[in-house]
Amino acid sequence: MTRVFAYQAKKRGVLLHSAPRALRLGSPKTKGLAMSGMKTLALISVLALPTLAEAKPPLREVKEIDDELYYIAIANEISEYCPSISGRRLKAIGVMWGLKSKANNLGYSDTEIRAYVDSDTEKDRMRAKGEAYLAQNGVTYENPNSFCTLGQKEIERNSAIGVYLRAN
């Protein structure tokens, strides 16, 4: 039985990189180019990541979030002006927490969400949209009963607005 030790195997060309240079796969120069190409690709993807994050639409354009906030705002307005209808505030708060979570999952930071919610421009836009809806349905601020009429209709239809209202 012949024993082969590491120093003997090295002489026979068994160890890694012990083959003649011409027989090795890839020269050091091509390996270096491949690695530098990979590094460049990784660097470009890391630098492009913030650009992709900035490419998301403003929250006002995310329909599933903006519309739900609109429904809650209309229901709140109805409950404020109609004494016989109250708002389901806990339900609305729960939905708003869910909307915040959804916005976070879509890549929006808490700062971006807070900026959207606190924006005077967005509040004015939402108010104008809501007042147009109320006027379209015959509601006037001079006639609080018109809020009650619309509220009852929304509750009976179990509409997106009506689910946030409760008749007293």
End residue of a domain, out of 16, 36, 54: 54
Q: How confident is the model at residue 81 (pLDDT cuts 50, 70, 90)?
A: very high
Q: State the CB neighbour count (10 A cutoff) for residue 82.
A: 23
Residues 28 and 69 in one domain: no
R_g over Cα of the chain: 33
Q: How confident is the model at residue 55 (pLDDT cuts 50, 70, 90)?
A: confident
Residues 80 and 28 in one domain: no
Residue 1 lies in a domain: no
pTM for the full model? 0.66
Residues 43 and 64 in one domain: no
Residue 25 has pLDDT above 60, yes or no: no
Number of domains in the chain: 2
Residue 124 lies in a domain: yes
The domain in which residue 76 lies consists of 59-167
DSSP strand E in the chain: where? 85-87, 165-167
Pairing state between β 85-87 and 165-167: antiparallel
Contact 86, 143 (CB under 8 A): no
Q: Which residues pair with 87 in a beta bridge?
A: 165
Residues 138 and 80 in one domain: yes
Residues 111 and 158 in one domain: yes
Q: How confident is the model at residue 2 (pLDDT cuts 50, 70, 90)?
A: low
CB-side neighbour CA atoms (13 Å) of 97: 5
How many Å apart are CA 111 and CA 146, to the nearest integer?
Answer: 38
Residue 9 has pLDDT above 60, yes or no: no
Q: Render pLDDT for 126-160 as a digit per residue (tens, 0 to 9).
A: 999 999 999 999 999 999 899 999 999 999 999 99
Q: How confident is the model at residue 78 (pLDDT cuts 50, 70, 90)?
A: very high
Summarize the confidence of residues 1-11 as an average pLDDT: 54
Summarize the confidence of residues 23-48 as an average pLDDT: 58
Residues 85 and 157 in one domain: yes
Residues 23 and 87 in one domain: no
Residues 72 and 25 in one domain: no
